[in-house]
Amino acid sequence: MIPQTKTMEYQLELSGLRPDPIHTWRRLREFLQLDEHAVVQMRHTSEVLLENAAPFVVAAYDYLAQFDETAAVLGWEQEMDEEHLRERRQFFSTWMARTIGVDFSDEFAEYLFHAGRLHAGHGPRQIHTPDLWVMGAMGLVQAYFAERIIQAGFDPELTAGAIGAWNKYLMLQTRQMNEGYKVALALDEGPQTVEVKLYGRLRTLIGREQQTVHVHADSTVADALRKFFDYYPTLRKELFQVRWRTPQNGHDATWATDFETVYVPRSGPYWRILLNGRDLSYDGGFDAMLQPGDVIALFPPGR
Ligand code: HEM
């Protein structure tokens, strides 16, 4: 009789991911009380902000070009690159228009998260803009908004309400960009690299076939996947569903923050996650150790 070999199945669970940036965008908005009343106050002042937006954009880039550190970031220490300047003014005008239009959409939140990743050197020009200067530039926008609103001579209650609301909104945006910036830096951190290869829908969703992830020695598949899904948070829902786990350290969970968020494969037809061609469900699970040059593949159901 041939002895039956029992294949061990590994429980695939991914914990320790950063909070979903869209969720925090909404929660922070709520915390800041950027409610309908605040939106009405902001909209009352939109027009005066728009009136001088174009000269402000021009002045902002003149300023960045003459301040030593920001000029160095943009590569404009010697002279301004006219084409790059046009490009930067164009994107900033788009951002300004959406901002003055009081855009709280999830899509805008994703765009800001993406802008943060670009600031970490992940854009087509691969320019690294330290968060210090992005935060500083946001301060300049806040000052411009406040100045314009005060100059327009609205009644004091509206003036105070609108300036406060704009400040909170720009703060919310700064945080959103910073989140994208941080996950991009994390993706590049570590002396070794592994590749995450994408198949099926995932390729269309992020517009690429693979992503390099930097890791430290002694990293596991989970470590690389954490960086990957922090960088592409919108992909989480394709492969995983969320489970909440109560704390393991003996005390009872009382607040939402006491629960740990754990990502487990979606039930039903599931995505296979392979390490160098071997299905991690049957071969090591997410605790499998990584070697430099390893390839993690994300395969859609049915392939
Ligand atoms: C109010 C603050 C800022 C906001 C809201 C902001 C927003 C953005 C956005 C939305 C993008 C993406 C544009 C796109 O491709 O669609 C971007 C890219 C970029 N930003 Fe900022 N930014 C800010 C401050 C700065 C500062 C202070 C600098 C430089 C000193 C800077 C340099 C860049 C560069 C170089 C890119 C493109 C990177 C690349 O293509 O490789 N940004 N920014």
Question: Does ligand 1 come within 6 angstroms of the Cβ of 25?
Answer: no
Q: How far is the CA of 120 from the centre of ligand 1 (A)?
A: 10
pLDDT at position 7 over 80: no
> Using one digit for the tens of pLDDT, what is the confidence trace for 62-90?
999 999 999 999 999 888 889 999 999 99
Closest among 21, 1, 4, 13 to 178, alpha carbons compared: 21
Counting atoms of ligand 1 from 1, which one is nearest the CA of 114? 12
Q: How far is the CA of 129 from the centre of ligand 1 (A)?
A: 8
> Using one digit for the tens of pLDDT, what is the confidence trace for 156-211?
999 999 999 999 999 999 999 999 999 999 999 999 999 999 999 999 999 999 99
Class of the 21-187 domain? mainly alpha
**Rounded-to-integer distance, Cα 1 and Cα 8, Å:** 21
- From 67, 88, 119, give the residue whose CB has the most ligand 1 atoms within 8 Å, as the site to mutate: 119
Counting atoms of ligand 1 from 1, which one is nearest the CA of 122? 41
User: Of all protein residues, whose CA lies closest to atom 23 belonging to ligand 1?
Assistant: 134
CATH 3.10.20.30 fits 190-299, yes or no: yes
> Using one digit for the tens of pLDDT, what is the confidence trace for 225-253?
999 999 999 999 999 999 988 766 555 55
Encoded tokens for 166: 């704009």
- Residue-level pLDDT at 79: 85
Question: Each residue of 195-214: b (16+ CB within 10 Å) or e?
Answer: ebebbeebeeeeeeeebebb
Counting atoms of ligand 1 from 1, which one is nearest the CA of 73? 30
Q: Where are the domains of the chain?
A: 21-187, 190-299
> Using one digit for the tens of pLDDT, what is the confidence trace for 145-155?
999 999 999 99
Q: How far is the CA of 61 from the centre of ligand 1 (A)?
A: 11
Average pLDDT score, the chain: 93
Is 190-299 the same fold as 21-187? Answer: no
Q: How far is the CA of 115 from the centre of ligand 1 (A)?
A: 6
Counting atoms of ligand 1 from 1, which one is nearest the CA of 140? 1
Q: In what order do the strands lie in the sheet with 14-15?
A: 14-15, 260-265, 240-245
Average pLDDT over residues 116-142: 97
